[in-house]
Chains A and B, each alone.
Chain A
């Protein structure tokens, strides 16, 4: 089965998160992606993209890419920016046993990314940061359109 794909070009502005959210929802609906994995991918993409906007590409207007691919058995997203090299997976995870008052303010986004996806890989590719996220889909009689 061919992989269905969509590429989105986003600006480094947090207002783009809503557009991303809607675009992923539309993509999922068209491709008949089951609701639960789609919702999880939306959450994870929001974490990754808001990180890119705040940390990789702060300042003047810049653009970056989000690619989505759906197949019968998985959903793959890649987020690609030309900011300075940064692997968000390299940061140690915060201690999840601590009560909230003792926790650092950051670091939970990456926890959600790792826990909700089946595979997460970072690579530096021709001067660009590429984060690849993969979510396996439960078997269905028909699969995505």
Chain B
């Protein structure tokens, strides 16, 4: 899987492409932990090129959310229908911030 990361002010935009499953999520998590290690706390996940996600992929986001509990946040943008369905069925759609596109998620972010 391909992951691109870019900085927009204090926000880090992370865009995984392809499939985020129990195999590819290991690299993806490593990449996020690198960003965390460099001080990144405000994440925007641009999922417009993500074709599929499994519970292994969701686990990475849940794990990151725990790290960001004290300081930071995450927003999600551009979910494809297949990925949106997984967010819906697991109740995450109602418990995370979803935006139509990356630019919408970056507006007024990080807050304050």
Which residues of A approach B to under 8 Å, CB–CB?
A: 14-15, 17-18, 39, 43, 46-47, 50, 54, 96-101, 103, 105-106, 108-109, 111-112, 115-116
Contact = CB atoms under 8 A, between A and B. Distances in A.
From DSSP, what is the main secondary structure of chain B's interface residues? Answer: helix
Given A47-B54, A96-B91, A115-B89, A103 B62 contact: yes
7 contacts: A14-B23, A50-B54, A108-B59, A108-B90, A109-B54, A111-B89, A112-B89
Contacts of A103: 62, 65
Interface string B84-112: 00100111101110000000000000000
B63 interface: yes
Contacts of A115: 89
Contacts of A99: 65, 95-96
A46 B22 contact: yes
Contact of A108 (B23, B58, B68, B94): B58
B55 A97 contact: no
A97 B92 CA distance: 8
A47 B52 CA distance: 12
A103 B59 CA distance: 10
A115 B91 CA distance: 12
